């Protein structure tokens, strides 16, 4: 039986975690390790100064789980390396009640939890639903999680695969619901700060700039058109064009003698 580790960034109380467990219950042995509180937008942070408190809990009266006083990446590290006798075959995070499209992947704890698994050599999927946070609907995201996990468990992976899945809360065409996409890097936010309560306090406000929706080949474009977006994610952030363009300009090899001389003299 496949061992599937679940986590999220909304914490053990997040409604999407139960939805994810329900969606995947028939596909393997579920292991659940989630933050003890909402840790959304903590990206790939890990806890290094403080110790992590792990507590056994019961999720929805149905699943054994652990809570961790840390981030999604902490949860996945513990779930893979420490809390169970063997590593999982697959890690799935979510379901996040809110989009993780375009540059959201840099801030998202949901994506980071899955990315942490991939860094540890384990295939992983992050699942998000574009839905009302107050009254979230997870149906299409649950179906997508099920389909993607089934596909991943059934294939022989030549290397760990990391997928970012975003589902609308209503499918336009259920029969052809899924689109492979690329990250909409032109997804930007009109960020602003507003004064918050006491003097010297600010709160980040603003909204996504939906110019990113134009291109149907992107995650944002696909979801906007009512499809489930599946984006393969990789870690290489190297600007190869920059490497070629500027690679010769500082002198090759780059000379640091002047700095070294000054340091030796002081």
Q: Which residues bind Mn ion (CB under 5 A)?
A: 9-10, 40, 96
Please identify, using beta-carbon distances, which residue of 126 and 178 lies nearer to Mn ion: 126
Minimal CB distance to Mn ion: which residue? 40
State in angstroms the smallest separation of the CB of 262 from Mn ion: 48
> Quick one: CA torsion of 138, 144, 148, 150, rounded to 10 degrees?
90
State in angstroms the smallest separation of the CB of 128 from Mn ion: 8
Q: Is residue 93 helix, strand or coil?
A: strand
Please identify, using beta-carbon distances, which residue of 23 and 127 lies nearer to Mn ion: 127
State in angstroms the smallest separation of the CB of 156 from Mn ion: 32
Please identify, using beta-carbon distances, which residue of 136 and 221 lies nearer to Mn ion: 136
DSSP 149-202: HHHHHHS--SS--EEEEEEESS-S-GGG-EEE-B--TT-EEEEEEEE-SSTT-E
State in angstroms the smallest separation of the CB of 223 from Mn ion: 16
Please identify, using beta-carbon distances, which residue of 28 and 229 lies nearer to Mn ion: 229
């Amino acid at each position: 039986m496949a061992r599937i580790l679940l986590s999220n960034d909304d914490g053990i109380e997040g409604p999407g975690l139960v939805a994810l467990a329900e969606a995947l219950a028939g596909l393997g042995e579920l292991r659940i390790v989630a933050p003890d509180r909402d840790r959304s937008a903590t990206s790939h942070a890990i806890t290094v100064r403080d110790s992590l408190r792990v507590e056994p809990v019961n999720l929805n009266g149905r699943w054994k789980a652990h809570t961790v006083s840390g981030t999604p990446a902490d949860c996945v590290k513990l779930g893979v390396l420490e809390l169970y006798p063997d590593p999982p075959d697959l890690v799935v995070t979510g379901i996040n009640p809110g989009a993780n499209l375009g540059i959201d992947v840099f801030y998202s704890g949901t994506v980071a939890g899955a990315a942490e698994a991939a860094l540890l050599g384990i295939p992983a999927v992050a699942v998000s639903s574009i839905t009302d946070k107050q009254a979230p609907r997870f149906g299409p995201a649950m179906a997508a999680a099920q389909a993607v996990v089934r596909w991943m468990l059934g294939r022989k992976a030549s290397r760990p695969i990391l997928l970012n899945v975003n589902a609308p809360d209503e499918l336009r065409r259920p029969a052809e619901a899924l689109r492979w996409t690329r990250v909409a890097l032109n997804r930007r936010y009109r960020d602003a700060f507003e004064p918050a309560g006491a003097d010297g306090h600010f709160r980040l406000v603003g909204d996504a700039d939906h110019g990113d929706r134009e291109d149907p080949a992107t995650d944002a474009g696909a979801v906007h058109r009512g499809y489930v977006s599946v984006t393969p994610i990789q870690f290489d952030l190297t600007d190869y064009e920059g490497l070629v363009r500027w690679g010769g300009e500082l002198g090759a090899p780059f000379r640091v003698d002047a700095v070294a001389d000054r340091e030796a003299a002081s």
